Homo-oligomer: A and B are copies of this chain.
Amino acid sequence: MVPGSLIYRNNHKNYGNDISPQLHSHIPANHPRAESLLIRNMLVDGYKRGLVVSEGLIAHGRGEAFDYLLGEKTSNIAHIAIEAASSALMLARYPVISVNGNIAALCAKTVVELSHWIGARIEVNLFYRTLRRERIIKRELKCFGAKEILGMSLKSTAVIPELQSERRRVDPSGIMKADTVLVPLEDGDRTEALVKMGKTVVAIDLNPMSRTARSANITIVDNAIRALPKMIMTVKKLRGLKQEQREEIMKRIVKEFDNPKNLLESLSVMRENLA
């Protein structure tokens, strides 16, 4: 039982089926950092296929370093945030998952599966936006069973106030309408702007000191490739609760979650690993 967790019971590694075995082939299984190298290969593969941009590769490297400090596993602290995040998304009236290139390359299948379980829309949102990239990412998500992909350029006619880049453009039927937005790998500006618009923002960010981590309502300090399958498991467990208790328990989980405290505790985990 994870300390502080209301429903979590197991902690085994689970990457869903997002990791393709064929990408695994040339990494020796006994390599001390085989998993990290495998994920890196998936991203480089996503780069070659046009989902990921060069800046996304650099961002991934930053994540790798913070994940290394986390011991490359989901901490108990992150499990608590995962429970709060899952509850918030299940309680949402209109949840939306925002997908960028790195997430599409690493977690397309899990994102689609999670969207089914929580009844969320999926919206593509790119900092480096091109019609070609949008199309490739849309195809990737559809390939894993997504019905509808929001956020395509022609339909992204709404604008997030205060933002300057292409990321300000959002879909009126997606993020603009959402009450709760899951932003795995988001930049600080946009997270702040979404919070200012009154939305509940759930972020996944390996850097507990980032502006995204600090401004989101609920921040999961974990690798998205581990956190997303764990969110699905958590959602399934929450759905297994008796209906008359479920909403009350989920509301309590969200209410009791303290993001600044959780971030400080994740920092402590990193500090201990640096010792």
Binding site for B on A (CB under 8 A): 40, 43-44, 47-48, 54-55, 57-66, 68, 207, 209, 267, 270-271, 274-275
Contacts and interface: CB of A to CB of B under 8 A. Distances in A.
**Interface secondary structure of A, over-half rule:** helix
A37 to B, nearest CB: 10
A40 B55 contact: yes
A64 B57 contact: no
22 contacts: A40-B55, A40-B58, A43-B58, A44-B55, A44-B58, A54-B57, A58-B58, A58-B61, A58-B64, A59-B61, A61-B62, A61-B65, A62-B64, A62-B65, A62-B68, A64-B65, A65-B65, A65-B207, A270-B274, A271-B274, A271-B275, A274-B274
A55 B47 CA distance: 11
Nearest to A47: B54
Given A61-B62, A61-B63, 18 more contacts: A40-B55, A40-B58, A43-B58, A44-B54, A44-B55, A44-B58, A54-B54, A57-B57, A57-B58, A57-B61, A60-B61, A62-B68, A63-B65, A65-B66, A65-B207, A267-B275, A271-B271, A271-B275
A98 B65 CA distance: 24
Contacts of A61: 57-65
Query: Copy number of this protein in the oligomer?
Result: 2
Contacts of A59: 61
A63 B59 CA distance: 11
Contacts of A68: 62, 207
Question: Which of A55, A61, A64 has the most C-beta atoms of chain B within 10 angstroms of its own C-beta?
Answer: A61
Q: Sort A-B residue pairs by CB-CB distance and give the 7 closest, nearest first.
A: A61-B61, A65-B65, A57-B57, A58-B61, A61-B62, A62-B65, A271-B274
Contacts of A267: 274-275
A211 to B, nearest CB: 9
Contacts of A64: 58, 61-62, 65
Contacts of A63: 61, 65
